[in-house]
Structure formats: C-alpha cells, structure tokens
Amino acid sequence: MTSHSPALRTLDMYIDGQWVKPASGQYFETVDPFTAQPWAMVARGGAPDADRAVRAAYRAFKEGPWGKMHPSERAKLIHRLGTLIEENADALAEIEVRDNGRLLAEMQHQVRYIPKWYYYYAGLADKIEGVVHPCDKPALSYSRPEPLGVCVAIVPWNAPLLLLSLKAAPALAAGNTLVLKPAEHTSATALKLMELVEAAGFPPGVINVVTGFGKEVGEPLVTHPLTRHVGFTGSTATGAHLYSLAAKDVKRVSLELGGKSPNIVFDDADLDNAVRGVVGGIFGATGQTCIAGSRLLVQRRVHDQFVEKLAAFTRKARVGDPRDVRTQVGPIANKMQFEKVLGYVDIARQEGAELLIGGKRPDGAECAQGFFVEPTIFTGVNNKMRIAREEVFGPVLSTLVFDDADEAVAIANDSEFGLAAGVWTRDMKLALRMSDRLEAGSVWINTYRDISYTTPFGGYKKSGIGRENGVEGIREYLQTKAVWLSTA
C-alpha cells in the first residue's frame, strides 16, 4: 500500500452529493488481477468519513425531499437509474473486469441484467400496502410498513455492482437512504454508479459511497448509532462479526454468507448436461461465488465415467486474459485469495485427496503475471476433510462418492453451510424428494447458479439470514407500525 502515486488517477468518495477526499488524506492502490499492476488510487476512508456519510443519509431520510416524496416519484428515480445502468453497461463491465478479473463477456451479460432489479423494485415502490385488522376492541386498528432509515450495504469483490444492486434497489424502493461500502479491491464500479445516481437526479445524501478497508471504515458504518440496517454479502466469519456488532444496538441485518454447496449427480442423470452444470457451477467466476458447487457428489455406478467426462471437459477450458472472448476461466481477483486457494490445494493433498487435474498456476506467458490457478479437481475426498468443509472461494472441486439418496442427503447436509444445492437426475419424483430434504436456501434441479430478481435468495444455517430478491427482498427494508384509533 502506498499513500499516493501521482501517475495513477485517484478515486474519491461520494458523500451527500459531493465527491470528497478521505479525512485521512490517504489513498490505496487498486490492482488489475490480470496484469497484477495497480491502475487507480482509491480513497482510504475511516471513521470520520463513515460518520459524515451516515449523517448525510440520515438528514436525507429525515429532512430531505426523499422522505416526503410520494413512492411513485421515488420509483421514477430508481427506474431512471436502471435505465442509466443499461445505457452504460459496457463501461461498467470494463471497470468491473479491471478490478476483479472476471470474464468481460460474463460481466457484460451480468451488468446488462442488473437494471431488472431497479425496474422490479421501482414497480413495487408504490404497492407497499398496509392492513386493516379485524380488531376485538372498539378501535380502528391498522398497520402499515415503514422504511427503517439509514441502511448500510457492505459487499465483496466477486460481483460488486450486482451485489450492491440487490441491496440498493429494494432499500431505496422501501424509502430508506443508503451508505454503500464496496470491497477494498473493487471500489471503482460503485463510484462510477454514483455518476449515474447524480445524473438520475437523486437528492444529495440518499445514496453515498465510502471506500476503504473493513475494519477502518466498514465497522464504523455498522456501529454508527444512526445506522438502522446492515446488509452484508461476504464471508461467514466477517458476517458473524458484523452480526454481533449490530446486535449491540439491536439493528436489523440481512446476511448473505459463505457456502460449500453440493452438486449431486445420480446415475440416471443426463451426464453430459450434468458435466456442463458442474463445470459452470465450480469454475464459473473462477470459483469465486458464494454459490459455487464446490462439493461434487457422484453416485457410485457412474462415478468413474462421470469423473472422466468431467476431466476431459475441464482440460479444454481456456484459462487466460479475461478480456479475450475465447477465455473461459480468468484469474483469481487478488493476490491474497490466490495464495489462499493454492494453500487449500496443499491442504487437500496432505489430507490424502487425489489430485485429478490442475492444482497450480497454468503454464504459458499469458498467465505468468496475473493471479491464475488452473481449474482443479480432487477425487477420493471424504466429507471430513477440510477441502470438503471449508469455503475455498476458488476453482477447486472436491469429488465424493455416494451409494443412494439417503447417503447423498446425509453427506450434503453434513455442513455448517446451507446456501445452495444441485440435483441431477431424470427422475422428477426423486428430484422433488431431494429438494424437500436438502438444507439449502436454493435447490437447482438439472441446472445450477440461476438467480433472478423475482426469486428469493439466501442461506440456511451459517450461510445467512434474510432473503434478497422478489417481494421477500423488500421486506428486509421495512418495519411495521400499528395504529389504533379509538371508536369508543
């Protein structure tokens, strides 16, 4: 980390409708994971900046025009922001790739889909209705949902703009104001989004972005007395820590945390289809998604055949420059994560797992600089090994074998996580019985990694609290007020 490199452009924070420098006066490098070179300097925010942003959001909520606006007027602004994201999708995708190394084609696709969240929740904004209760007292008693106030959204580096939008769109539609904190490695798209927020005409303070490190600027946001909700996507360890901080002031939280999701392949499955799903599930986004299908459970009768097909398919995957349309697997997003993934490869070997393919940096000049790890498959894994229990967040697949559905369920559920699961079979009764028994917030049958703005997403067990997307997603950002009017 350096304090300021004059050769690189600097990115300031966006607070109360202004571009502001950090109170510390310090900036840190943001690095392109393909070249391993810094490309911009990001403001290193701290507690004073967090305070300034939360106060601005609070003022906008309490005193600004936002609170007094009819929901249909707020909806217009949210919709306009969606349109601006659509118009600027390619530029946003470019920035995202420069910060996190995801494939350009994949990020273009993702960013073009993001406006749907803004359109969907803009549509809900003026449909938040109350209830008149059949009261047993001489009174008119009704209740209505109200916004919470200042919401803080803290997101990781794997899909910054998407994960931020999953929080921002419903929070704003419910009438709240926001402070966003992107991950320190990937701050640039959130800041670019603020140019669009300004262009859309949001009043100052409604949406603010502070940048910097978790402990330095994230914690002061969470513990700020005026913060009423914490929306977080990231690791279970950090989520649990923020949950305990929020608990001190009884703040609401929505947590989307880690996973060790099983992909279960039965012997009657369309194996070629399952291979594609399993590969996309674990090697898509270079394995850096909370929903990565990182445990592959294969029924014994087809185990060897399936693993062979899988290895053959995976060997063909082109690893390299994320901006090259032919590339199928890009780099890991940052150096720390790169080292962590290779560390897990060593751990798996020491535990006795068999390395089928991968396990190192790919050969060749294209991958010599960046944070690359080959798509890696281990076989002979048992569910007690760390490689089967801990979230790697990289392109590392652990393969386990099972005999029948009962054993598959037992292995799948023997995890502290419960984010997602995949089931591959042609037998729909079996698939539905499996979906009943799996402890997971999403179960995909003959598909994997699908998400939509319409469908609730979230985790069982240590994978999280609350749900994003759909009508359920907006309830996270509302509280109920009951009113009694005496008729006695």
Active site residues: 256
The 10 Å Cβ neighbour count of residue 56 is 25
The Cα 299–Cα 265 span in angstroms is 6
Whole-angstrom distance, CA of residue 183 vs CA of residue 288: 14
Cβ-based nearer residue to ligand ADP, 28 or 34: 28
State in angstroms the smallest separation of the CB of 184 from ligand ADP. Answer: 5
CB of 192 to ligand ADP, least distance (A): 17
**Cross-strand partners of 43:** 27
Q: How far apart are CA 187 and CA 184, in angstroms?
A: 6
Taking the least distance from each CB to ligand ADP, the nearer of 157 and 306 is 157
Q: What does the longest C-alpha to C-alpha distance in the chain come to?
A: 84
Half-sphere exposure of 279 (CA within 13 A, CB side): 23
CB of 449 to ligand ADP, least distance (A): 18
Name 288's Cβ contacts closer than 8 Å, sequence gap at least 6: 158, 332, 333, 337, 393, 394
Q: Which residues bind ligand ADP (CB under 6 A)?
A: 154-157, 181, 183-184, 213-215, 218-219, 222, 234-235, 238, 241-242
Pick the closer one to ligand ADP by CB: 190 or 434.
190
Nearer residue to ligand ADP within complex by CB, 213 or 313: 213
CB of 213 to ligand ADP, least distance (A): 6
How far out from the chain centre does Cα 429 lie?
A: 32
Nearest-angstrom CA–CA distance, 4 and 309 = 50
Integer Cα distance of 467 and 474 in angstroms = 9
Neighbours of 72 (CB within 10 A): 11
- For residues 187 and 328, which CB has a smaller minimum distance to ligand ADP in the complex? 187
For residues 450-470, one letter each, b for 16 or more C-beta atoms within 10 angstroms of the residue's C-beta and e for the rest, the string is ebebeebbbbbbbbbbbbbbb
Minimum CB–partner distance for residue 257 and ligand ADP (Å): 8
Distance separating alpha carbons of residues 204 and 104, to the nearest angstrom? 32
Strands of 139-289 (E only): list them.
139-147, 150-154, 177-181, 207-209, 227-233, 252-256, 262-265
Contact 139, 484 (CB under 8 A): yes
Choice between 241 and 335, CB closer to ligand ADP: 241
Q: How far is the CB of 284 from ligand ADP (least distance, A)?
A: 17
Q: Which is nearer to ligand ADP, 233 or 314 (CB)?
A: 233
Unique residue bearing structure tokens 């959130």? 190
Q: How far is the CB of 216 from ligand ADP (least distance, A)?
A: 9
- State the Cα torsion 96-177-469-276 to the nearest 10°: 10
